[in-house]
Structure 1
Amino acid sequence: MSVKRALNIVKIKKMKQEGNPITMITAYDYPSAKLAEEADIDIILVGDSLGNVVLGYDSTIPVTLDDMVYHSRSVARGAEHTFIVTDLPFMTYHGSIDETLRNVRRLMQEGHAHAVKMEGGAEIATTVQTIVQAGVPVLGHIGLTPQSVNQIGGYRIQGKDEPDARRLIKDAKALEQAGAFAIVLELVAEEVAAAISAEISIPTIGIGAGRGCDGQVLVYHDVLKYTSEYREKRFVKTYANIGDQIRSGISEYVKEVKTRVFPGEDHVFAAEEGVLDQLYGKGKAESHS
């Protein structure tokens, strides 16, 4: 069996040219990354959505750079042969360029990412260009940008009217010009996402952005329904219901422990014959067994 070779940005761009759809999944830990790699995923995104999905926050805003480094490193250990992109979290690339580059360095050197993702369009293009010139691939992200959820007024579809569509096209072109190797389009009206994909030379990867993108990304836990009190999302297709299986399995474990069914004969280890007699004296062992 041949060892999988990780993609690079040249191959990712070529996939758009060849009409080969790009598959991306957002994962946050070693076992998830390992399983995703075994399933032959193209790219793993270590998203700051880990705040909502695995850390219990109600948004991505509380997620720190330390959180991202920790989870990125875990994913990198699980998917050694997959291209890994890690989010720069809230307010880690809006200060001085020196501070931004220090944060990028941590994700690359400590988090073992192959690229970083940044939310925003024309307003961050200069920063994107500087990071790219420093030798770091950048994945752009426009449309719904969760780090700006308080400013944009919630989780709303983007590009529904002409001015907003023009803004998104302008942002995509600015990121392309700045050197981004691809752009995530999140919750963008399908017609606008398709227009953006046609107007730029770099790949677009959609999440809730319809069928005209060059690839798709979904969150691991959404794909597998791996959560409690799962909230349905129109743009998500669930491919397995792991949550119910996990809940059922743990419930059965609790039941068997409570009824002393587990551990059974197959799950215990025996000492050498006569050990209890040696410990407690012959004839007294039964009271300790």
Structure 2
Amino acid sequence: MTRFRPCIDLHAGSVKQIVGGTLSTDNAGLKTNFTSDDPAAYFAELYKKNGLTGAHVIMLGPGNDAAAREALVAWPNGLQVGGGIKDSNAKDWIDAGAEAVIITSFLFPSGSFSLERLQSVLSVLGGDTSKLVIDLSCRRVGDGWRVAMDKWQTITEFQISKENIAMLEPYCSEFLIHAADAEGLQAGIDEKLVTYLAEICTIPVTYAGGGRNIQDLELVERLSNGKVDLTIGSALDIFGGRGVTFDECCKWNKHRDDAGR
């Protein structure tokens, strides 16, 4: 059954909701939907209190390590951490209290996928796939999607395909996939991508991008037959949004948890 998956997006040390496609190295065209006065730890504690597992903390650029670590202190072994993760620091984040680390750009040196790099990250984690989430955030190219890296500005040659998903699944516990073209716009999900992910993925997958209300949770559940989870960010009231309340999302998960017992 589809569940709401919360997030903590960090930019310049603050919790923010950003229009994903506007991120860049110099942030010249950055569009921010919301900047919180509360620290990352506040949201970690909120998610812990409400039993919202599988939350991802994403560090968008430099200057976010301290905030991410504060969140991990607030909920040790309850959060996934991504953004700049590589083989040299993956275990450090697990030791700091991350439930799992999320990797993206490190796997694509010069825009090409490196199985050797993926294996190196898993190796420093002792081969424990439960500690590794692969982020395949992507942009639409033609009739399909290709992984986008470096703040979603560089489109790689790596396609979201049944063959590539099957190749990656033995190395991780789940996938996190932002539809970068829809991220932060609150204009609805990429229905074709959600449907396709449900068809080709056999391990858990969380989709993010465009979620705007409780009806989108219903839509993702229907399109994916409950196989894909949904992250809602900018539309959520705790992030200044007006599309859906945090309480509604908590109740959504509780109803599904109760039904699964």
TM-score (norm. length: structure 2): 0.45
Which structure dedicates a bigger proportion of its chain to helix?
1
Structure showing greater relative contact order (alpha-carbon pairs closer than 8 Å, 6 or more residues apart): 2
Which structure dedicates a bigger proportion of its chain to strand?
2
**Highest CA radius of gyration, 1 or 2?**
1
